[in-house]
Chains A and B, each alone.
Chain A
Amino acid sequence: MKRHILKFTIEAVFIFLFFSCEKVIEIDLNISEPKIVIESEISNQPGPYTVRLTETVNFREENAFPTLSKATVRIYDDAGNTETLTETITGFYNANAIQGTPGRTYTLEVTTGENTYKAVSTMPPPVNIDTLTVENTGSFGPAGNGETINVQFTDPTGKNNYYRFVLIINGIEQDGVFIDNDELQDGEIKNLLLTNYSENTKLNTGDYVTVLLQTLDKSTYEYFRTLRQISGSEGGPMEQSTSPANPISNINNGALGYFNTCAVTSKSIIIP
């Protein structure tokens, strides 16, 4: 969280002092070959779980991403269960039989044409959210009143616990990648502010807020950590990395996207 504060400070000084201005410009970006994007999540909650296959498009095109149909998608675990998924809607493949269980290791295999993509991910045990509170962070919060959701949870003893949080306000999943780990602070009570500076996540009295806590394995965490670096949830013009890159995927063979096997818990509050 410290990192964010520093970035925000530097940013704020710039905006206030140096009257920067923004405008939309035309840039001639290269045409790229379409690349496969695999999004897949298995949790400890009941299925069916979905694997979504899409492709990249060129920058100038609309945000309508072509789906990949007629692929062979297979998931198996280390307990001997295996399932070939069925395509329900084009590009969406459902797993109906397999059940997510903490401690098991899952393998995803996607074959389209001549290419096969494979990912391995282990589901960690779930961690409960202790409390959800509303904290006022002054001007550091989202636009408006500065109110932000604080999640408190207890990190189990032993390192290598990785967390991802999903913030849902009135049924709408908010943008932003919220993650945490215990590399520096093991086995303690942890607090995390789910502040998203770039989007308006302003809270109002009566809002129904749900937070999901996903426990991830390291490679999936790495994906979300590096996704956050480029997705605008971190920094602004001053803090932009000089070498942005595609997030580090746990899927091989150059596929974009992730295979996330997570244990999920949740808690909700109504904003007073």
Chain B
Amino acid sequence: MKKRGLFILAIFCLFAFSMYAQTKYTISGYVKDEKTGEELIGATIFIRELQTVGTVTNAYGFYSITTTEGDYTVTAQFIGYEPQSVTIALRKNSKSNFTLNENVNELEEVVVSAERQDENITKIQMGVEKINVKTIEKIPVLFGEKDILKAIQLMPGVKAAGEGNSGFYVRGGAADQNLILLDEATVYNASHLLGFFSVFNSDALKDVTLYKGSQPSEYGGRLSSVLDIKMQEGSNQKFGVEGGIGLISSRLKIDGPIEKDKGSFTISGRRTYADLFLKLSKYSSVNQSKLYFYDLNAKANYHINKKNRILISGYFGRDVLGFEDRIGVDWGNITGTLRWNHLINDKIFANTSVIFSNYDYNIHTDFGSTEGDIISRIQNYNIKQDFQFFKNSKNKYKFGFNSIYHNIIPGVITAETDYSISELDLPHKYAWENAVYISHEYKPDNLLGIEYGIRLSSFSTLGPGEFYSYNSSGETTYITTYGSGEFVKTYLNIEPRLAIKYIINTKSSFKAMYGRNTQNLHLISNSTSGNPTDLWIPSSNNVKPEIADQFSLGYFRNSKNNTYEFSTEIYYKYLQNQIDYKDGAELRFNESVESQLLFGMGRAYGMEFSLRKKYGKLNGWIGYTLARTEKKIDEINNGEYYPSKQDRTHDISIVGIYDLSKKITLSASWVYYTGNAVTFPSGKYEVAGQVVNYYTERNGYRMPAYHRLDLGMTLQRKKTEKFESSWNFSLYNAYGRENAYSITFQEDPSDPLKTQAVQTTLFRWIPSITYNFKF
């Protein structure tokens, strides 16, 4: 594998070097946090004498700048840290590591983004949101549990999937169209407790980036977005303990050096105890129930020498739900990543990753005569090789490949008693996914920047198994049997990506992008909220890869010395092979679930506005999206375009954080969005002795508009070198808006001749309190 990589590299270098003959040298190294020794991602390095020459550190804190010989002042800066400069006489290739100090005066430099000051204008990629983990601590949240996915839902162009739900929709894409990566491992179900918490414990996170527009070529596999989450490495300087105690959950983190300056580890855990409240109930059905989740993040890294570093990280999380000893349901994700960073030379950074991810659920029922288990699992093994070649100040290349083996157990039912339960083992699914990519970032001058690339992806459904073909009414027409490892169907896709920026002046820039994405794993879910038992199916002889082509244009403007950032983007997406469900589709434990699907096309377009204030006592943002998302499927609504479930015309989010004093921070967020498209009855009739709704079209109605105000306050206690602590208070849904979670139609209990619409609301005024500490 390595040989093949080097071979590609060799060809590449040959072509690259033949074009230049000037004497150039390379400055390279790492940018780190002084206190913890952790590498900083996305720190800016620039040469003062050459205004145009600069770069940012990669995901492992590495940078490399190549330029003509001379005497230079090289500066490293990262928001929230004091900039650092060194003078370098560049006569040969040289190393320069920076260790930055955290800015002490927090009050003036409240961080909303980890980006450099004018990043909004200067970066090539558009539709990228970098979320600072520190910021989200201040945003008020449900149950006081700070949550990265809830913070993301407040970004323009990103919409919450529903009340308390950690699912999100990006630019009209469904919740399963987001690639969620935790240290490069796919997270299949990012929800705890049916979506009220995400699986990401923010104590353990270092960097969170959401790509909602142009995804760089190294990413692939989902249509709408990539949420790339990186875990902290821990301090390689000293041991530390950090934690929080809340009404619903508590968490603890320990980190420290394995060997000072060379390696570190971190372990963080979290457990909810919501079920303790259930014990207070006087009903045995409630007080004998279980309901909790826990998760564990661990990571270690070690610098073997200056050129090689090993990182190992893992996540394990589980939800447990039990009901009176009769029913037990548990589900969760496991991920593991082993990485090897290797510096081939000062200009070429290589990373090899071996990744594992797993999601499964298990249901146990015991009703005396009826006892049995249901299990289901999705798993993948992934090898990924990436190279970054920092050729010179104008050219940067990225290339690599990726090979994933998927293994899905859709559902196994086993009986422990000999009757009442039908034993069942739905056919297991196997698939092999491969991709190679190359991209080139070219900055000819200070004003223009282009990043273009291509990703070639393949997806093969593998045997063994019987593969069914269906006719239009869903009946099996023929069955083909394949042996183990045989290729059933292979799809090849070419995914070009392009992003251009043009800086108009120091205050504003213009950007454009085009990108194609494909998706070969599809989440089959037809319930209002995502369920732990929703099923992932791979592309097959019946299900084709979903394809999205996105075009987007944007205008970016900063003012008042980069204090205010304004941006507006318009986008249009054309979608192929979109999936919807037949009327009356049976999606659970159905061997021929593919016969229950309908396929067609879709389109999504919209306009996003965002205004941020990044510095000062008051900071925050306002985001507004005007959008439409539609599908067109022959069998639905007479083949006309109809709104997708996640279609929302208006979406507004406002977040404000105000530092009242050094000790008190107040925060508020307000969201408003158009209700989801839903199917309501347009009439009723009587059949089999009951009144039944009469439906005339799919998604022809709207839920009522959703809006909510949350308030929060953080109280910093005395901070010493050894110990610091804070209290966090929050009030979810401060004005008690009764937002519709669902609407059902039923007989009026007081008048059987009437039918009424009943709205269910989940949360009104949820207060919470959390105590956080660090020593």
Contact = CB atoms under 8 A, between A and B. Distances in A.
Given A18-B763, A241-B526, A138 B374 contact: no
Interface string B676-691: 0011111111111111
B685 A65 contact: yes
B689 A16 contact: no
Interface in A233-269: 235-248, 256-258
A114 interface: no
Contact of A9 (B283, B329, B681, B744): B329
Given A3-B588, A9-B329, A54-B686, A32 B696 contact: yes
Given A56-B694, A247-B584, A62 B329 contact: no
Contact of A63 (B367, B755, B759): B755
Interface stretch (A69-77, A105-113, A202-210, A223-231): A223-231
Interface in B403-462: 413, 419-424
Interface in B645-667: 645
Contacts of B289: 12-13, 16
A175 B284 CA distance: 28
B699 A243 contact: yes
Interface residues of A, number: 79
B585 to A, nearest CB: 8
A222 B586 CA distance: 10
A243 B692 contact: no
Contacts of B35: none
Contacts of B742: 237-238, 240
Contacts of A54: 685-686
Sort chain B's interface into a size bin.
35 or more
B686 A6 contact: no
Contact of B692 (A24, A138, A230, A241): A230
B752 A63 contact: yes
A87 interface: no
A57 to B, nearest CB: 6
Contact of B754 (A16, A62, A138): A62
Interface string A75-113: 000000000000000000000000000000000000000
A204 B356 CA distance: 55
A242 B527 contact: yes
A23 B738 contact: yes
Given A230-B693, A232-B746, A243-B580, A32 B278 contact: no
Contact of B682 (A29, A65, A185, A229): A29
Given A13-B321, A242-B526, A27 B743 contact: yes
Interface string B159-172: 00000000000000
Interface in B722-758: 738, 740-747, 752-758
Given A2-B374, A23-B738, A242-B526, A226 B684 contact: no
A82 B365 CA distance: 51
A191 interface: yes
Contacts of B740: 25
Contacts of A227: 687-688, 692
A17 B695 CA distance: 33
A22 B759 contact: yes
Contact of B758 (A13, A23, A241): A23
A110 B92 CA distance: 94
Tell me which of A138, A177, A225 has the highest count of chain B C-beta atoms within 10 A of its own C-beta: A138
B278 A17 contact: yes
A207 to B, nearest CB: 19
Contact of A138 (B274, B324, B528, B683): B324
A161 B102 CA distance: 72
Contact of B689 (A10, A35, A175): A175
Contact of B680 (A1, A27, A31): A27
B48 interface: no
B470 interface: no
A240 B286 contact: no
A131 interface: no
Contacts of A13: 194, 289, 291, 321
Contacts of A55: 685
Given A9-B323, A29-B680, A238-B528, A24 B694 contact: no
B271 interface: no
A242 B528 contact: yes
Contacts of B745: 59
A137 B367 contact: yes
Nearest to B529: A238
B757 A56 contact: no
Interface in B229-258: none
B698 A245 contact: yes
Nearest to B328: A9
Contacts of A5: 327, 365
A42 interface: no
B12 interface: no
Contacts of A6: 327, 329, 363, 533
A25 B743 contact: yes
A115 interface: no
A64 B686 CA distance: 9
A89 B687 CA distance: 18
Contacts of B585: 243
B584 A245 contact: yes
A196 B631 CA distance: 36
Contacts of B691: 63
Contacts of A238: 194, 527-529, 531, 742
Interface string A137-158: 1111000000000000000000
A242 B631 CA distance: 15
B415 to A, nearest CB: 10
B700 interface: yes
B466 interface: no
Given A243-B580, A243-B679, A140 B194 contact: no
Given A13-B291, A175-B689, A58 B683 contact: yes
B194 A10 contact: yes
A237 B742 CA distance: 6
B476 interface: no
B422 A65 contact: no
A229 B326 CA distance: 25
B679 A25 contact: no
Interface in B358-390: 363, 365, 367, 369-370, 372, 374
Contact of A2 (B413, B527, B752): B413
A111 to B, nearest CB: 20
B581 interface: yes
Contact of B684 (A18, A31, A56): A56
Contacts of A184: 422-424
A175 to B, nearest CB: 6
Contacts of A244: 679, 693, 695
A37 interface: yes
B559 interface: no
B574 interface: no
Nearest to B583: A245
Contacts of B678: 242
A243 B645 CA distance: 9
Given A29-B680, A237-B744, A240-B528, A231 B584 contact: no
A189 interface: yes
B563 interface: no
A62 B680 contact: no
14 contacts: A17-B277, A22-B758, A25-B740, A29-B701, A64-B753, A65-B685, A139-B324, A190-B419, A227-B692, A231-B690, A238-B529, A238-B742, A242-B645, A256-B685
Given A191-B369, A227-B688, A237-B760, 13 more contacts: A3-B589, A12-B323, A13-B194, A18-B763, A20-B741, A29-B680, A57-B683, A58-B684, A63-B755, A135-B369, A140-B367, A237-B528, A243-B583
Interface of B: 194, 274, 277-278, 281, 283-286, 289, 291, 321, 323-324, 326-327, 329, 363, 365, 367, 369-370, 372, 374, 413, 419-424, 526-529, 531, 533, 580-581, 583-586, 588-589, 645, 678-696, 698-701, 704, 738, 740-747, 752-764
